[in-house]
Amino acid sequence: MRRRAWLLATGSATTLHALVGAAPALAQMASEPRRIGMLTVADKASFAGQLQAFRDGLRARGHIEGRDIVIDIRYADARQPGLAQLAADLAAQRPSVIVGFGPAATQAAHAATADVPIVALLRDFVAAGMATELGRPAGRVTGVSFFGATLNAKRLELLAELLPKGSAVLNLAEPNSLDLPSVEAAGRALGVTMHAAYAATPQQIDTAFATARGLRVAGINQLASPFLHAHRLRIIELAAMARLPVMYQWPDSARDGGLMAYGPSLTAIDVQLANYVSRILGGAKPGDLPIEQPSRFEFVINLKTAKAIGITIPQSLLLRADEVIQ
């Protein structure tokens, strides 16, 4: 009996000593920041504004970098074939959640992980194979869906109002764009002669503008595309050189020097994405979070750019603009 008591006492003491010794390590593990992965086709410079808005959204929800979260970003610099390796690198960091910007980035993140929740910005979650329905995604992907086809047609309508009747317009899109057929149908209804050019590399953007000059189009309608938005500064430069009016997808493009832009506020969308990341960090399942849609749209006209390329903006457009840059 004494031997058993001694063994029990010794064992208890050893166990207690081990637990006490492990306590600091356990406390450290409990307080380790949660890792948030981000994957984008953009480069660091063109993505800076979105990143800041996302960080601001997280901070508003009480998350502080270095204290309870770490943000780990991978930039594809417009090289979409490299997304698979970047997604694998992110997965190796064992993130609590990954944020994907655009279909290529989101699909790469989904393929690289088996159980990591994903919050995404996509044109169409169902078409991209990332959800079964908007109200209840039922998988591990949720986020914000923007009205790709509808907005592309609306941009064409605004651009056509700027141009002479019966003008020719070039739709600039990524290859295999899902929105091109509906935009071309909208163009025919407006009496606009429609052309198309595709770009998936910086060199192809230059080629698209050469095509526009050869076709003598009166304007360019840039369709929804993470890649084209990442290269908006080059498109703005080429448009200025060609003295061509271009309609852009995101309002920020007009603030960066583009002529006109109509679409959701990217800043507001990034805050929506941050809110969903916060909820997932708090224990929510992405499949239970309905896919949201943008709540704020902006029509921005840059009169400085209009003057530089010799374009007069009709008063009818100026009166509808949410922001006019003088």
pLDDT digits (tens, 9 = 90+) for 202-220: 999 999 999 999 999 999 9
> Between 159 and 24, whose confidence is greater?
159
Determine phi and psi for 89, rounding to 5 degrees. Answer: -60, -45
- Give the model's pLDDT for residue 78: 63
Give the range among 10-24, 44-58, 96-110, 303-317 with minimum mean pLDDT: 10-24
Q: How many C-alpha atoms does 117 have within 13 Å on its Cβ side?
A: 24
> Between 99 and 225, whose confidence is greater?
99
132 is written with which tokens?
């079964």
Angle between helices 232-242 and 202-215 (to 10 degrees): 30
Give the range among 5-14, 64-73, 256-265 with minimum mean pLDDT: 5-14
Q: Is the pLDDT of residue 255 over 50?
A: yes
Measured distance CA(285)–CA(141) in Å, rounded: 9
β-pair partners for 65:
69
| Strand (E) or helix (H) holding 194 | strand 193-198
What pTM does this model have? 0.84
Mean pLDDT of the chain: 89
β-pair partners for 72:
37
Q: pLDDT digits over 71-126, tens only? A: 999 999 866 668 999 999 999 999 999 999 999 999 999 999 999 999 999 988 98
Q: Is the pLDDT of residue 2 over 50?
A: no
For the chain, how big is the Rg over CA atoms in Å? 25
Q: Which domains does the chain have, with CATH numbers?
A: 32-147+266-288 (3.40.50.2300), 148-263+297-325 (3.40.50.2300)
Mean pLDDT of 255-261: 97
- Give the model's pLDDT for residue 80: 61
Identify the burial level of 67 via C-beta atoms within 10 angstroms of its C-beta, where 0-12 means exposed, 13-18 middle and 19 or more buried.
Answer: exposed
- Give the model's pLDDT for residue 111: 96
- 224 Cβ contact partners less than 8 Å away, ≥ 6 residues apart: 123, 146, 148, 151, 152, 179, 249, 263
- Give the model's pLDDT for residue 254: 97
Q: Is the pLDDT of residue 23 over 80?
A: no
Long-range contacts made by residues 314-318, C-beta under 8 angstroms, separation at least 24?
314/161, 314/162, 316/161, 317/158, 317/161, 317/162, 317/260
Mean pLDDT of 187-206: 94
